[in-house]
Amino acid sequence: MHPQTLFATCLAALARRTGFDPAHVGDVIAGNGILSGDHGDDIARLSVLLAGWPETVPGMTLNRFCGSGQQAVTVAASSIAAGSEDLVIAGGVESMSRWDVTAGVPTIDGNNTDFRAAYPTVPQGISADLIATLEGFTREVVDSYAALSQDRAAAAIDEGRFDRSLVEVATPDGTFARDEHPRPGSSAQTLARLRPAFAAMGAACAGGEHRTFDEICLERYPSIDQIDHVHHAGNSSGVVDGAAAVLLASPNWAQTNGVKPRAQIRAAAAIGSEPIIMLTAPGPAAQRCLERAGMTVADIDLWEINEAFAAVPLKTIRDLDIDPDRVNVNGGAIALGHPIGATGAMLIGTILDELERRDLTTGLVTMCTGGGMGTATIVERL
């Protein structure tokens, strides 16, 4: 399915379920991680038209790598808080099945040799292995975490915890009502059979670079003498297609239209971090978000820490001293997949659904992103 059609499906379903008039929408903001090819040409605007919404509804597409969908929600909330808009739809889309996997080793430098000389970067999987090495997360530790993600996701799916927010997608191959990616029954023992995915890549060089990716990491982090390559397809986020859409409105619009708000965005934040290790910013982003809200870790009932790689939530849990039983309680991207531009908006919906199910109040979503950044959002039920 074309990503425009996928996002348009979400937009149409959101309007049907909530009953708002699309003509009242001030803007549609979509996150996307690639912004080219089938995802190009402002996919938000094109999806608005494909959904059959009025031509007067504009659309904007943005990119903050893996945090794009979450950033779209932040931009929407900010425009409403500033009084610029009353009703905004935010979300994102990614059809990763359409990504060009023949383009070579992925580095986040735009193939710019000047940037590469100043800031050599490595593929994200190697960054994840670097985190695991520095933190002492063994293969058994990351595989055990991945198995837990699968177990939690399987239980959530079986109990229908995601059902209220899922949208059936009709394709030429049939209608899909549930995610295909989860692998229920996965265990640390079965995952142990998989070979590390990034060892060979770590021994490769970027174009024009005489050092291997592993050597770049070791020069930046001389406290270790080798990279322990522990990540693979089973303990990393899934490559999937997906889309999400969230309705945000001003209190005045909600009151005028008889809509009862489910929650508010209490605070949001983004932060940068060292770009070689790249994936360590969820903790600092969460801390910045908590400070803006005047809150502490103890004030958060549930956490969603995106499972880009198993080492990412493990490090964030350790850094912030979070109770693991409050983190990713319905599994995460290892089991469910990580459609880059959509995941952040998906997680905001996921955490709100679970807060309501448990009758809790506050949730925090935080993600790592390419280029060494992190995003965070605090959601508070009303």
Give the H/E segment covering residue 315.
helix 311-320
Query: What pLDDT, on the 0 to 100 scale, is given for residue 100?
Result: 72
From the list 181, 231, 232, 338, the catalytic residue is 338
C-alpha span between 78 and 304 (Å, rounded): 21
Query: What pLDDT, on the 0 to 100 scale, is given for residue 104?
Result: 53
C-alpha span between 227 and 103 (Å, rounded): 25
CA angle 367, 11, 363 (to 5 degrees): 35
pLDDT interval class at 107 (50, 70, 90): confident
C-alpha span between 322 and 314 (Å, rounded): 10
CA angle 161, 165, 169 (to 5 degrees): 115
- Answer whether 229's CB lies under 8 Å from 203's CB: no
Lowest pLDDT segment from 10-24, 45-59, 166-180: 166-180
- Answer whether 29's CB lies under 8 Å from 244's CB: no
Whether residue 122 is predicted with pLDDT greater than 60 in this model: the reply is yes
174: left (phi over 0), alpha (psi -120 to 50) or beta: left
Give the single-character DSSP code of 262.
Answer: -
Percent of the chain with pLDDT over 70: 98
Q: What is the mean pLDDT of the segment spanning 254-276? A: 98
Q: Is 66 a catalytic residue?
A: yes
From the list 10, 217, 289, 368, the catalytic residue is 368
C-alpha span between 366 and 163 (Å, rounded): 23
Q: In what order do the strands lie in the sheet with 362-369?
A: 263-272, 373-381, 362-369, 302-305
From the list 10, 39, 66, 289, the catalytic residue is 66
Report the Cα–Cα distance between both ends of the chain, in Å, rounded: 36
Give the H/E segment covering residue 241.
strand 241-249
Q: Is 289 a catalytic residue?
A: no
Give the DSSP per-residue string, 142-211.
HHHHHHHHHHHHHHHHHTTTTGGG---EEETTEEE-S-S---TT--HHHHTTSPPSSHHHHT-B-TT-SS
CA angle 185, 191, 197 (to 5 degrees): 135
Rounded to 10 deg, the angle between the 311-320 and 124-135 helix axes is 40
C-alpha span between 147 and 253 (Å, rounded): 44
Name the pTM for this structure: 0.97
Other CB atoms within a 10 A radius of the CB of residue 304 amount to 28
pLDDT 10s digits, 65-94: 999 999 999 999 999 999 999 999 999 999
Query: What pLDDT, on the 0 to 100 scale, is given for residue 105?
Result: 54
- Answer whether 89's CB lies under 8 Å from 14's CB: yes
Q: What is the mean pLDDT of the segment spanning 186-202? A: 97
The average confidence (pLDDT) of the chain is 96
Lowest pLDDT segment from 52-56, 83-87, 110-114, 299-303: 110-114
Give the H/E segment covering residue 113.
helix 113-118
pLDDT 10s digits, 306-344: 999 999 999 999 999 999 999 999 999 999 999 999 999
Nearest to 354 by CA among 254, 263, 258: 263
pLDDT interval class at 103 (50, 70, 90): low
- Residue pointed to by tokens 């070689």: 276
Percent of the chain with pLDDT over 90: 91
Q: Is 368 a catalytic residue?
A: yes
Whether residue 288 is predicted with pLDDT greater than 90 in this model: the reply is yes
Whether residue 243 is predicted with pLDDT greater than 90 in this model: the reply is yes
Q: Which two tokens stand for residue 41?
A: 């040409």
pLDDT 10s digits, 130-180: 999 999 999 999 999 999 999 999 999 999 999 999 999 998 888 998 888
- Residue pointed to by tokens 């893996």: 66
Whether residue 261 is predicted with pLDDT greater than 70 in this model: the reply is yes
